[in-house]
Amino acid sequence: EADIYQTPRYLVIGTGKKITLECSQTMGHDKMYWYQQDPGMELHLIHYSYGVNSTEKGDLSSESTVSRIRTEHFPLTLESARPSHTSQYLCASRKSSYNEQFFGPGTRLTVL
């Protein structure tokens, strides 16, 4: 059983609000990822991190930002939410020596 947590699970907010989606893992994994899942179910990588103080943008351009100050924590921030940000956000992690990623339960974000 993978130990990766995301909060909140569901969030409904108004346009212009700043939000932070939390992701934490207790497995000591060095690599972490954020994926955006659109209503058609496709998954797109938006951010990843190789380790502490390392962050990179993914394949899909995103207005969100991330930070990695601690190994176990990889929060995603939207400075000013818009309806186009409505989506499910999935966090994942893996150990460098293995290919498989473990996923959190996701945060479903709705921006009104």
Partner 1 sequence: GDSVTQMEGPVTLSEEAFLTINCTYTATGYPSLFWYVQYPGEGLQLLLKATKADDKGSNKGFEATYRKETTSFHLEKGSVQVSDSAVYFCALSTMGNTGKLIFGQGTTLQVKP
Which residues of this protein are in contact with partner 1, per CB under 8 A?
6, 31, 33, 40-43, 45, 48, 50, 56, 58-59, 90, 92, 94, 96, 99-106
The rounded distance, in Å, linking the Cα atoms of 73 and 50 is 12
Q: Are strands 54-57 and 4-7 parallel, antiparallel or unpaired?
A: unpaired
| CB of residue 106 to partner 1, shortest distance in Å | 5
Q: Strand pairing of 4-7 and 10-13? A: unpaired
Residues 49, 31 contacting (CB under 8 angstroms): yes
Nearer to partner 1 by Cβ, of 17 and 103: the residue is 103
CB of 80 to partner 1, least distance (A): 26
Q: Which is nearer to partner 1, 55 or 67 (CB)?
A: 55
Comparison of 17 and 102: residue with beta carbon closer to partner 1: 102
- Please give the angle made by the CA atoms of 96, 101 and 107, to the nearest 5 degrees: 130
User: CB-wise, 17 or 44, nearer to partner 1?
Assistant: 44
Question: Shortest Cβ distance from residue 90 to partner 1 (Å)?
Answer: 6
CB 106 within 8 Å of CB 11:
no
